[in-house]
Chains A and B, each alone.
Chain A
Amino acid sequence: MTTVNDNSSEYITNSSSSSSAGLKSLITVIILICVCISGFISRLFSIIRFESVIHEFDPWFNYRSTVYMTDNGFYNFLNWFDDLAWYPLGRIVGGTVFPGLMVTSGAIHWFFHMINIPIHIREICVFLAPIFSGLTALATYLLTKELWSKRAGLFAAAFIAIAPGYSSRSVAGSYDNEAIAIFALIFTYYLWIRSIKTGSIFWSSCTALSYFYMVSAWGGYVFIINLIPVHVGFLLLLGRYSLRLYVSYSIFYILGLILSMQIPFVGFQPVRTSEHMIAAGIFILLQAYTFFDYLYNKLRYVRNIETIFFNLSVIISIIVFAIVVLLTYTGYIAPWSGRFYSLWDTSYAAKHIPIIISVSEHQPTTWTSFFFDLHLLICLYPVGAWFCVKDLNDERVFILLYAVFASYFAGVMIRLMLTLTPCVCILAAIALSKTLDYYADAESSEMVSNFDDSVSICDETENDENNQDLDNNAENIDETDDDDQNFLTSNIKIIVVTCIAMMLLLFIVHCTWITATAYSSPSIVLVSYNSDGTRAIVDDYREAYYWLRQNTPEKARIMSWWDYGYQIAGMSNRTVLVDNNTWNNSHIALVGKAMASNETEAYKIMTMLDVDYILVIFGGVIGFSGDDINKFLWMVRIAEGEHPKDIKEKNYFNENKEYRVDKSGSPILFNCLMYKLCYYRFGELYTDSAQPSGFDRTRSVEIGHKNFDLEHVEEAYTSANWIVRIYRVKKLSNRFQAKDALEKSTSSLSEESFEKNHRKGVILNKPHVKKGTKKSIHRT
């Protein structure tokens, strides 16, 4: 890349004398290639440090679905009923998933195999997000070019390629919907801007197609189908109506509506739910407005007709609004869904859906996280918005609306920082480009050489950017006032440009650092640093999941908290009770209740749910903070929401209303299943030489309840660092388990005598338990 950089610098000297359009586009292409490559490379930290592996939780499900699709074909995938999840309910995957991601990687896989490159589907899944980040950079360039200028576009592309707000969701291995959805989002917006600029049917059809891709990829498509109508509405309000607008919106809405209903998961939602009603209302309004506009042009000779038309359009919008409200009340249109509603009424989720707020990415955003994810850009962002306001046109209204809405949503929910980032990059690029228009123009050749020296230490991408600016400015100087230039001496210009270059340099350092340290950990492989600075890889998760895969019967059912459902299904290929698709709150609450009850109560629930193994995550030995003991209060809360009689949160606090596992802890906590499974035989272990046995390193306390035995479960496996602990649920009778593969031949003499003595009772018990199971299934 350094060679490329040198080349472009050489061209600069030529360009000041002979600036041909071809050279300009060549440099643009080179810069864009550099941007894509640097975006791709900056996302590979996790691969280099760990290995080519799928990250976290949701990506494991996507990966599993993709593998299923490539093995069985697309139509079988659409009809797939997954019996490994949500035992005993199962899950209809084809109808409850956005298939865009799987289809995309499946198509790439198919293409590679067609040209005889036998690449494994996993590699495609791992590298899909970095590849799409390059495409996102290109789309951002195109969008910014339409909004402002090519120079700003190059800046925006460079920013989006490395901004941590976007790379947080698109590092190699995070195989999630957002990886391709942001590209689809930006590209749809680009096509939309393009179509209202030209008013051509071709571009608006392209917008609809791109929108279709977005719908197939991510639930965030709702953002598009609301933002574009709002844009149209505002343009009408500002009196910027034109036939171009009419053509592009009508075509987009009709085609987009029909296409989006082809996705099984979306189905009839676009005509049945409130989230999509803004689009429909604006569509009707636009038809009416166009009709009146037509009449108005025909009947111009009639006096005072203007006010009549104005009143008519107001009346029609009120009528449309009233109809929507009426339909919502009568039940033809579903009201806002809970997740969507919680964006407006921020206390809604806290009151009604504890499972939504239990997820850390649904928290509101502090200003530090804004700065952490966007650094310099967040400061430049309002400035860019200001420049757009000062110089308003149809498409800049769009980016301003995007900015206001995305800022609000990002403030409410930290996860939506992702949709804000492209907008911030674009507006910051506009601000920077406009500033540099003043300060980095090639007034004298002497200054150019100085400037080149001053920024040659810069990162290659930014350097290219600045050079490009110089280059373009040489020709586009007529855009700015010639008089202004006289007052700016070259010295001041150099100082300002150097400062900006230094800030950009800091920005690059920050982005690289954040991406490397904060966002590149796969979270299924942990890393710990020893006292001498060497790295130690903690690979307990995969070790334990592989153990499950190898040592348990194929139909074994694993109970764990829902966080680990996708991973167990993906890596161990075993049936789980609950997983990260949190569609059934009462089922999750049942698992939470089992974890929070004492062993006898939990055993009843577990026999009811046919649980064979229990898996818990415990970080007390190596000090891993994301373990089940720390998540335990959420289990209690969710269980309390469904079973308020049996589980009470305050029982798990001690006298001082604290949640503690040391001696002062509550006895109910000490006797619940989760505590026992996590700390079983932990009291015999010395984790720290300076501390007594049973010292929990995550919570830095000696545990309060040490020597206890398990009655209904037995330890089956504990991973090297104790992070994953797996327990086997004992069956009611051992007698019939002798042949069963579940039981190893460990039955001792005493157990056998126990069986003989209680043979009669055991047989009598058995059908009774089965009855209970069936009833409970119906209830859940």
Chain B
Amino acid sequence: MKQFIWLFFICICTLPNVLSKEDVLSEKIQQLTDWSLKKPIIRLNSERFKHYVKTAPRNYSMIIMLTALSPSRSCGICKQAQDEFQIVAQSYRYSSAFTNKLFFAMVDFDDGQDVFQYLKLNSAPVFIHFPPKMKPKKNDFMDISRSGFSAEAQAKWIHDRADVHIHVFRPPNYSGFLLVVLLVTMIGGLLYIKRNSLEFLYNPVVWGMFIILAILICISGQIWNSIRGSPFLHRNPQTGQIGLFSGSSGYQFIAETYVVFALYILFHINEFFFRKIKYINFLFYLP
């Protein structure tokens, strides 16, 4: 009988312990789910980070972006990274893959400097995946210098690390569409106002200019620039010398193509004024 009482006593003692542990976990998950339903990215500060990420009972993974968004930090790419991260989180939030096993969060440098110290980081933005129950390993730091931080790259990386497939859904970019509409209405309006003198539309010179421009853009390698996105100039880090032309035939700088563009135009003008040379000639013989 005594043993039974002991056993009972032990049970009584351990039960709340276990219960409280489970309670903490479910409470944490509940809280995180609530937050992420409200906003796809949970904003963490030092205390919250400690509570929800660092401390032990945790069976969910976290994707955390560490960044410095305040204007005083003057981090240019942080804003872009934030936008891309927002897209991924949003896509996850409204996709069928949304569970309480993966949460997106961010820590701003001004909110949680301890976090940066704890993770030994001195740059931003950094994307880290916290796997359930473990500390992040080397591969859990996303390599943005290599893959970039576009939403697609992030989704791929998350798929690799956390095994959650996120189909990135970008909100359609209306700004370009609006610009086109604006331009069309402007041109249309201009034409409408000037409808009595539309002769310039029948002027082959104007159209010729457009055609020549299109051809010159193509043959001076501007398409290559837009596909490859090369730097504008090359500056030698040692001497500070500016290189306008790239040495290899498979590469070019943007400035270089402008030079070539201008040269072709010069050639063109030259040819164009070949015809007018007779007047120059005439001037020479005038005296």
Contact = CB atoms under 8 A, between A and B. Distances in A.
Interface of A: 346-347, 351, 364-370, 372, 378-383, 385-386, 389-390, 392, 400, 403-404, 407-408, 410-412, 431, 435, 438, 484, 487-489, 492, 644, 648, 650, 657
A519 B146 CA distance: 36
Interface string B225-269: 011100000000000000000000111100011001000100110
Nearest to B152: A351
B146, B216, B274, B279 pick with most chain A CB within 10 angstroms: B274
Interface in B193-230: 204-205, 207-208, 211-212, 214-216, 218-224, 226-228
B271 A392 contact: no
Contacts of B223: 346, 364-365, 408, 411-412
B200 to A, nearest CB: 15
Contacts of A400: 211
Given A367-B220, A370-B219, A390-B204, A385 B212 contact: yes
A404 B204 contact: no
Interface string B260-287: 1000100110011011011101100000
B143 interface: yes
A691 B117 CA distance: 47
24 contacts: A364-B227, A366-B221, A366-B250, A366-B252, A367-B252, A367-B256, A367-B257, A382-B215, A382-B268, A383-B267, A383-B271, A385-B208, A390-B204, A390-B208, A403-B211, A404-B211, A404-B214, A404-B215, A411-B223, A412-B223, A412-B227, A435-B274, A488-B277, A492-B277
B122 interface: no
Given A364-B228, A379-B267, A386-B268, A372 B211 contact: no
A677 to B, nearest CB: 28
A650 B160 CA distance: 12
Contacts of B143: 650, 657
Interface of B: 143, 145-146, 152, 160, 204-205, 207-208, 211-212, 214-216, 218-224, 226-228, 249-252, 256-257, 260, 264, 267-268, 271-272, 274-275, 277-279, 281-282
Secondary structure dominating the interface of B: helix
Contacts of A438: 274-275
Contacts of A378: 219, 264
Nearest to A379: B267
Nearest to A489: B281
A397 B69 CA distance: 55
A670 to B, nearest CB: 20
Contacts of A644: 160
A392 B204 CA distance: 8
B274 A347 contact: no
A407 B227 contact: no
Nearest to B221: A367
Given A346-B226, A407-B219, A366 B204 contact: no
Contact of A492 (B211, B251, B281): B281
Given A366-B252, A390-B208, A657-B146, A379 B264 contact: yes
Contacts of B277: 488, 492
A26 B204 CA distance: 38
Contacts of A366: 221, 224, 249-252
Closest 9 CB pairs of A and B: A389-B208, A367-B221, A411-B223, A407-B218, A487-B278, A411-B218, A383-B271, A364-B224, A379-B267
A390 B275 CA distance: 13
Given A367-B252, A435-B274, 14 more contacts: A346-B227, A364-B223, A366-B249, A370-B219, A370-B221, A379-B264, A383-B272, A404-B215, A407-B214, A407-B215, A408-B223, A489-B281, A492-B277, A650-B146
Contacts of A431: 271
Contacts, number: 117
A175 to B, nearest CB: 27
Contacts of A487: 278-279, 281-282
A246 B274 CA distance: 40
Contacts of A412: 223, 227
A492 B282 CA distance: 12
A391 to B, nearest CB: 9
B208 A411 contact: no
A197 to B, nearest CB: 20
A390 B208 CA distance: 8
B271 A435 contact: yes
Contacts of B228: 364
Contacts of A484: 278
B97 to A, nearest CB: 17
A435 B275 CA distance: 8
A472 B61 CA distance: 83
A585 to B, nearest CB: 19
A12 B215 CA distance: 38
A370 B281 CA distance: 35
A385 B272 CA distance: 12
Contacts of B160: 644, 648
A492 B280 CA distance: 12
A423 to B, nearest CB: 10
Nearest to B281: A487
A386 B218 CA distance: 16
A644 B159 CA distance: 10
A431 B275 CA distance: 12
Contacts of A365: 221, 223-224
B102 to A, nearest CB: 19
Nearest to A383: B271
Contacts of A364: 223-224, 227-228
B144 to A, nearest CB: 12
B264 to A, nearest CB: 6
Contact of A403 (B215, B221, B275, B278): B215
A390 B271 CA distance: 14
Given A385-B212, A410-B218, A347 B227 contact: yes
A381 B215 contact: yes
Nearest to B222: A411
B157 to A, nearest CB: 11
